Structure 1
Amino acid sequence: MRHARDVLEEVLRQLPSRSRAELKHHVASLDAVYLERTLPDPFADRRQWRADLWWRRRLTMGGEAM
């Protein structure tokens, strides 16, 4: 899941504004589901991944599948 969200973020950065807005709308609904199914990682600041990406600061229960 995290890698897929990384890819989506990169795509969002490169799209023209109209396409970006449309995709961002769809991604936002998926993000909401991910937020509901995960917990904040209290040790995220100590991990090696990028702390600026909110989905990298979440804990999952045994897997990354949605």
Structure 2
Amino acid sequence: MPIVELKIVEGREAKVKKKLVKDITDVIAENLSVPHDKIRILLYEIPAENWIVGGIPKSSTPEN
């Protein structure tokens, strides 16, 4: 049973996350020949202030 841990910055719409995990599930099923119902995805949404790049929180960058 494949288990995928995926960490993203929080704030994306539910429909975007739903498509993301469906696409990931499809790719794993196809590449590993595993039934979809045996694949687990753990999606962690990290607050932008806790996502640090080069010592600067993502919440402090212009794109946020």
Please say whether Structure 1 and Structure 2 have the same fold, judged by a TM-score greater than 0.5: no
Give the alignment's TM-score, normalised by structure 1: 0.35
Higher strand share: 2
Higher helix share: 1
Larger Rg computed on CA atoms: 2
